[in-house]
Structure 1
């Protein structure tokens, strides 16, 4: 009996060791970093990014059908393939130099670095390697001199747009107009925008008007804890006052 018990303990130790090695190797799959400082991160809503992946046929893609490998100047690399829009935006360590090797397996996928677009009209298996010129892109969808800004980040917002059938909507099926009370000549109009413009921040110390028209039944918006729309007839419209004075 003692012999069998000891052999069982040894077997358990072997199994435990194998499991630990399996878990460790799985956690490192596709990630070949030499130290604990990870110089790359992925998100679907960052405060800023360097590379943006796209699929022209699906804003909230479930599979970007290609392979990319990021390599930094220290020799660390990260490989991604067939990933979803949860990893749409890539933020890199600005203190390092980076290259990106890519292969496209779908004709309408690609990525954007700075103001340059790669892909979007690909041959199957088209590939290449580029040196990345790191330019930070920010989530605000309007220029800094405008009194209105948009973001996919849910901090400090006045209006939140909603599509009940799609949290990460590719096109909000309606139109909105913003203008300051007493200055209707300066009107800011938006339509068919994506969830990257889900949250709206308006310039404080002003009274705003927002006009809206719904062309989709389950869209709407939230202001000051109150929901508008969500069960619309085609063409339903209205106007609200947003007093930030």
Structure 2
């Protein structure tokens, strides 16, 4: 299959479809899109709608081998982009809507645009993880419902933009080294904690219909403002 893909790409090298055809046929594509990744390099946003139906702009990813992938007017199922770290990448963009943009590393592009604003950047590939975690973090977050210890919910919106509360995790007996999160989106709905430890989770609800599930038990759903508590999570 790889030989066939290479031959076809060489045949149409001068065509703007070369990069797209390569990605369709290659067994190991250098670029992938998702609405629920474990990590990513580029995140698209639309301030009007977190789960946008159309990101009104155009982006063009080109790798150091000359392969190109173009996206236009795409939905949030392509919100997160993961690129091959072994290649260098450039990204051209054009905004046709005022409040759209994207995030690369700690840099935000767009969000307050004029129609037709455009540019080209060399991508510094910094892999991002939900909740600001990293590969070595004892806590990981996901919007995928596989292998989780805690599930957060909002009865008003399954795909919530902001969970109206705060949570704090720490290993029992080591409260000084804690991990705190608040007002997070459903991208962090599922939490996985490092095994072989006993965890404490403190929580405060600032919204009536939010809560979480641990070990089959539901907490919250009919909260007073500022209602709080803690649970013990024994994974030892």
- Normalised by the length of structure 2, the TM-score is 0.77
Using the TM superposition, name which of 91-100 and 220-229 deviates more.
91-100
The partner residue of 1:36 within 19, 25, 39 is 25
Matched residue count? 217
What RMSD over aligned residues (CA atoms) do the two structures have, in Å?
2.8
Structure whose CA Rg is larger: 1
Matched, 1:53 2:41: no
Does structure 1 retain, via aligned residues, the 8 Å contact 2:130–2:140? no
Aligned to 1:81: 72
The partner residue of 1:65 within 56, 66, 86 is 56
Q: 1:103, 1:96 → 2: CA distance?
A: 23
Change (3 A) 1:180 1:54: same
The partner residue of 2:94 within 73, 98, 103 is 103
The partner residue of 1:92 within 62, 83, 100 is 83
SS for the counterpart of 1:33 is: helix
Give the C-alpha shift of residue 224 in structure 1.
Answer: 1.0
Does structure 2 retain, via aligned residues, the 8 Å contact 1:58–1:170? no
Change (3 A) 1:127 1:179: same
Q: 1:101, 1:146 → 2: CA distance?
A: 33
Q: Which runs of 5+ in 1 are unaligned?
A: 1-28
Q: Give CA-to-partner distance per residue, 1:170-210, whole Å, 9 cap, x none.
A: 11011222233333344433211112222222233332222
Matched, 1:160 2:154: no
SS for the counterpart of 2:90 is: strand
Give the C-alpha shift of residue 74 in structure 1.
Answer: 4.8
Change (3 A) 1:123 1:183: same
Change (3 A) 1:70 1:240: same
Q: 1:210, 1:125 → 2: CA distance?
A: 47
